[in-house]
């Protein structure tokens, strides 16, 4: 579907039908509101929707989709509103379906270890609700106002991805024609949402990473975990990324951590940026050469269990860190080196809450490059990525990296914050990132972590692309869901 000139009379007709059907208070079409949905912190061009609709129940979603499908109007879906890559920006004249009012934690099942949540639930209210029951969830490195369901649907990264990669158990999905699908065990109406697989094919996997282009998720059963007797965050310092990866591989093979994250020195130092400390001079230095006494990487390792097992695991972490030329940092050392980062890590690992928004995210326009790569080639990729981006002349260069699924693959996210007014630098970074995705796939077998509009990855997948197109035609024959994303 391509953008066409907006027909004002047609839009007015659709808007009135929406208001009559679901209630005028759920439909916004004033210029101020519409303009706020036309952009995010990415470089995606400004595109203003015709309406923003706010469903409060499943029936609202069914009616909204029915009207959009009838008029063949494109829809973009957002949940928590924390959007950074342009995926939620609509076609000019299309709808925005904003789920912020569908924000109920419907059920917390501590026996089977799952919770049923709506898309508008945020990590802040979800983690608070779970804590009252003595439970926790997977928490990404994103603000507390972001949506757990949206994050989990887009392949999460964060506090449990080493052992517990996938949080999705069961989805409730509305197709454009109003058909309601339950993908897991709850499609048997007498059953709960505790089982994802069998006795039929796993349809949840089709909708995960589809970016709102196949159906609209209205609730989900997601995995939750008990808060254990003892919890610690172990900090190990290393002078190279390779040593950090070797350390993680070793302790993961011995079943020690629930999670590990490698933080480069400019990132953990950038936590210190605040209103009182708006600049840190060392962040303008060469990212490949940290100042004396500043470790190149700090690895945060989350340890959880009975106190006796956690104490033993701490001793193992110290032993293995020394084996690879590193050392464990004690609390005093960490407070002197990166006090703000330490508070964030405590919040993530010990208090089971999203880290307070990093103030460094206000220093420019967020530009990230993210891939999966096998552990053995990750050190070469890290060196190449840092050098490539540093050659552009933008600083600081921040990255973090972590093992997924017992270190079968390494996640690697590197990002910079060019000045918003420096259009030339922004374009240079975007062009460089595109080249890096192509080159890293050839050199290192690195695959993109998430889809980015405008990048031709889908055309490199052979028959997979054709299968997706066929699925799209079945679920969304009028192509109203995210047609501008170019995924199909």
pLDDT of residue 8: 84
Percent of the chain surpassing pLDDT 70: 95
Rounded Cα–Cα distance for residues 403 and 362 (Å): 28
Confidence band of 428 (pLDDT split at 50, 70, 90): very high
- Average pLDDT over every residue of 60-64: 96
CB 190 within 8 A of CB 223: no
Judged against a pLDDT cut of 50, whether residue 328 lies above it is answered with yes
Q: What is the pLDDT of residue 346?
A: 92
Mean pLDDT confidence for 362-383: 90
pLDDT at 159 over 90: no
pLDDT at 81 over 80: no
Tokens of 480: 């109203």
How do the domains of the chain map onto residue ranges?
Answer: 8-100, 105-226, 230-448
Q: What is the mean pLDDT of residues 352-356?
A: 82
Please report the pLDDT score of residue 362 as a whole number: 59
By residue count, the chain amounts to 488
Average pLDDT value for residue range 102-126: 97
Q: What is the pLDDT of residue 117?
A: 98
pLDDT at 316 over 60: yes
Which pair of tokens denotes residue 22?
């679901």
DSSP state of 90: P
Least confident of 84-88, 131-135, 308-312, 435-439: 84-88
pLDDT of 125 over the 90 cut: yes
Confidence of residue 144 (pLDDT cuts 50, 70, 90): confident
Calpha distance 228→401 (Å, rounded): 25
DSSP 159-177: TTTTT----EEEEEEE-TT
Averaged pLDDT, 8-23 = 92
- Min mean pLDDT across 64-68, 157-161, 180-184 is at 157-161
Q: Domain 230-448 adopts which CATH fold? A: Vanillyl-alcohol Oxidase; Chain A, domain 3 (3.40.462)
Calculate Rg over the CA atoms of the chain: 23
Please state, in angstroms and rounded to a whole number, the distance separating the CA atoms of residues 340 and 127.
21
In this prediction, residue 39 carries a pLDDT of: 75
pLDDT beyond 70 at 43: no
Nearest to 78 by CA among 106, 44, 39: 39
Q: In the CATH scheme, what is the code of domain 8-100?
A: 3.30.43.10
Report CA-CA distances (Å) from 228 to 107, 134, 253, 337, 383: 21, 9, 22, 29, 38
Lowest model confidence (mean pLDDT) among 200-204, 275-279, 447-451, 472-476: 275-279
Give CA separation, 22 vs 17, 27, 28, 180, 355, in Å.
9, 8, 12, 18, 37
pLDDT higher than 90, residue 87: no
Instruction: Report the largest interatomic distance among the alpha carbons of the chain, rounded to a whole angstrom.
Output: 72
Q: How many CA atoms lie within 13 A of 469 on its CB side?
A: 10
CATH number of 105-226: 3.30.465.10
Q: Which residue has the higher pLDDT, 5 or 485?
A: 485
- Confidence tier at 138 by pLDDT (50, 70, 90): very high
Residue-level pLDDT at 42: 67
Whole-structure pTM value: 0.92
**Cα–Cα distance, 373 to 403 (Å, whole number):** 10
Q: How far apart are CA 151 and CA 119, in angstroms?
A: 10
CB burial readout 452-482, b (16+ within 10 A) else e: bbeeeeeeeeeeeeeebeeebeebbebebbb
The reply to whether domains 8-100 and 105-226 share a CATH topology is no
> Average pLDDT of the chain?
91
Buried b (16+ CB within 10 A) or exposed e, 76-92: bbbbbbbbbbbbbbbbb
pLDDT at residue 1, rounded to an integer: 45
> Are the beta carbons of 472 and 214 closer than 8 angstroms?
yes
State pLDDT tens for residues 390-427: 999 998 999 999 999 999 999 999 999 888 788 899 89
């Amino acid at each position: 579907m391509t953008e066409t000139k907006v027909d004002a009379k047609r839009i007015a007709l659709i808007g009135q039908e929406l208001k009559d059907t679901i209630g005028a208070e759920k439909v916004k079409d004033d210029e101020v509101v519409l303009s706020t949905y036309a952009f995010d912190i990415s470089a995606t061009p400004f595109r203003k929707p015709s309406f923003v609709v706010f469903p409060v129940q499943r029936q609202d979603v069914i009616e909204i989709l029915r009207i959009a499908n009838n008029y063949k109007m494109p829809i973009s879906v957002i949940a928590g509103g924390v959007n950074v890559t342009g995926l939620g920006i609509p076609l000019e004249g299309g709808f925005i379906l904003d789920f912020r009012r569908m924000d109920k934690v419907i059920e917390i099942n501590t026996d089977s270890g799952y919770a049923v949540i709506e898309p508008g639930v945020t990590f802040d209210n979800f983690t608070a609700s779970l804590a009252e029951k003595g439970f926790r969830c997977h928490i990404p490195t994103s603000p507390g106002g972001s949506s757990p369901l949206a994050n989990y649907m887009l392949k999460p990264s964060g506090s449990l991805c080493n052992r517990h990669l996938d949080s999705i158990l069961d989805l409730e999905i509305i197709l454009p024609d109003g058909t309601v699908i339950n993908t897991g065990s709850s499609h048997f109406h007498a059953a709960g949402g505790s089982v994802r697989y069998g006795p039929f094919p796993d349809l949840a996997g089709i909708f995960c990473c589809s970016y709102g282009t196949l159906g609209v998720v209205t609730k989900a059963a997601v995995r939750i975990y008990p808060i254990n007797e003892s919890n610690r965050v172990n900090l190990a310092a290393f002078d190279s990324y390779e040593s950090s990866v070797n350390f993680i591989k070793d302790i993961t093979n011995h079943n020690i951590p629930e999670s590990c994250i490698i933080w480069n020195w400019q990132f953990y130092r950038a936590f210190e940026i605040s209103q009182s400390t708006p600049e840190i001079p060392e962040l303008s230095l060469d990212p490949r050469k940290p100042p004396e006494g500043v470790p190149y990487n700090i690895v945060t390792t989350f340890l959880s269990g009975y106190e006796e097992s956690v104490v033993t695991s701490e001793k193992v972490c110290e032993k293995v860190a020394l084996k690879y030329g590193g050392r464990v940092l004690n609390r005093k050392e960490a407070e002197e080196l990166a006090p703000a980062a330490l508070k964030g890590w405590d919040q993530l690992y010990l208090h089971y809450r999203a880290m307070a928004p990093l103030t460094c995210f206000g220093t420019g326009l967020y530009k990230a490059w993210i891939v999966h790569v096998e552990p053995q080639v990750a050190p070469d990729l890290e060196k190449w990525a840092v050098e490539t981006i540093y050659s552009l002349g933008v600083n600081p260069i921040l990255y973090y990296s972590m093992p997924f699924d017992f270190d079968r693959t390494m996640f690697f996210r590197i990002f910079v914050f060019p000045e918003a007014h420096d259009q030339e630098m922004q374009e240079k970074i975007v062009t460089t990132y595109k080249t890096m995705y192509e080159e890293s796939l050839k050199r290192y077998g690195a695959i993109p972590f998430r889809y980015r509009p405008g990048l031709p990855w889908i055309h490199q997948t052979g028959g997979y692309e054709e299968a997706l197109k066929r699925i799209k035609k079945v679920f969304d024959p009028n192509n109203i869901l995210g047609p501008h994303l170019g995924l199909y």
